[in-house]
Every structure is written in C-alpha cells, then in structure tokens.
A and B are shown apart, each in its own frame.
Chain A
C-alpha cells in the first residue's frame, strides 16, 4: 500500500511529465478513484469514461497539487469526486441556489484571519455524532454518493426546503464543533 509520501512523490513526478510515474500513480490509486466515480455515477460504463477524464485532469493539473495544502489522496479523491459530480449534475440538473450578488462576492480585502490547516481530520466522526442521526446520514450520503438536495429530500421523505435547512444547519454545527 502506497503511503501519502509515495503518492505525493508520484504526483510531483507526474507534474514533471513523467509517464512512468503516471502509470505508478494509476496502479496505486485507480481502484479508489474508480470506486468514487462508481458510487456517484452508478453506471460502470460512465464510470470508466469518468476515470479516463479524471486521469487526464490529474496529468494536466498535477502541478497545482502542492498549492492546495491538502493530503495527496484527498486531492486525488477531490479531483475524481468533482468530476463525477459535474457529470451527474449535467446529466440530471438541479436548481441553482446561489444568490449571485450576495453569496458569490469575493472576500473583502483587509487583514485576514490566516486559516491554519489543523489536524482536524479524525474529529469529524465525533462531530458527526453530535448531529441527529438522520441528518448525519444525509450529510454523509450527500458527500459519498453526490446526492442532490432533491434526492436527499425524497430519500428521507421530507420537503426540499426542510432538507436544505437540515444540511445547512448540519454544516454550521460541524464547523462549530471542528473549531472547538
């Protein structure tokens, strides 16, 4: 099993256009990324196409990995999840929810509270336990399966707006808990 350091080194070599490193990275991580795409897209043929796209993106974007500051496997999974979710949302559109002028404005310039990345990872479980179990389940399946608010609402038998409120409040509670 490749360690984080191994994976990070492979990503670095891929950024330098090392084809052997791409092959090594594929061997190490493709089963995980295939699983990510399969859980989200469900269909194996779509998933195979998605995996190809994901590795093309990894090849093209490997030089940006270092700047993200997240773990190498976390970065690779994020590339795969983002691609698979984009494919899913393109296939089955959901309504927009961002209020343009209000929500998407850039951060105001000025002294900025430097967010130091902390070893918060393992604390998510404890924080999830503080949520009501159906809300925690909704959060987790949104992430793992890429479910939309609408699909989550149907699965849990609650109105769409209720589900939106559930998840947003859950995110804020998680944030609060993780900051403690």
Chain B
C-alpha cells in the first residue's frame, strides 16, 4: 500500500484523532493525537491490510516550539512503510508508550527520554540509557547548554595552538 493510502485508511478509522496528513516530496507523514497513539499503533500492527509488524525507527526532534516524536513503521509482509508523528509541548512532554505493541520501542523510547526529555507513560524501565543517571539536561534540545564541568572534570579545553599564536590574544 502506498503511504498516502495508509494515512487515508487511518483517517477513515480514527477520524479526528488523525490530526493532519502532510504530503511532501520525500517522506510524507501523518500527525496523530498523542492520547490515541497506542490505539493507532495497535490497529496498524493488527490490521491485516497494514500489518506493520516492525517499528523500524523511533526518534525525537526538537523544533524549538514543540517536540516531535517520529515513528517509522514497516511491514515485512507487505513491504510498505509509514511515518507517524506526535507533536508535544516542550514543557514536560508526556506520551503513552508503544512498548506494549512493539518491544523495540523499549530502548528507543529510553533514548528519546535520555536525549530529549520526553517521558513515556507506562514504560517499564524509564531511565537514562546513554548518559549517566545524574546528568542534567537533555543534550539534543536546541537550547541545551553543556555545564562547564561534570564531577570536577572540565568539559572545555583551551587549544594549545591558539594560545601559542600571538595573533590570538
């Protein structure tokens, strides 16, 4: 099935909870109401015409005024894919977890939580995955400023070349 036909089918099934379908030259996508994402995911997984058995990629993007969680779904059976997006406020973004539908969401959601600060409600193990547990802030947010030091280890280093060159004072 073509991606647009998939979004059409979703709109028929879920009506207003599919907020919009964006058609563009490269990957088109549709935006889902955050509250309905698990239901939509479950439907796409179980529906024989869609059979999205694989959550191939899940990532987050900070757009300065909102955070988007992007899910790339794929069906090995039908060899078609779809892109779902969820738009969340930057201030305390929360969304239900997809772990119950696709197990691969477990680690990918932890990564989004770790780097972008999106909390996935109902997740079985919502802790940081790549960064240390006492790390402050979410590095992939556009306004992230790295602290000058971490446990007494400096995160900045003066360049010895610049220091030696008299042109750089």
* A and B from one complex: no
* Chain A interface residues toward B at CB < 8 A: none
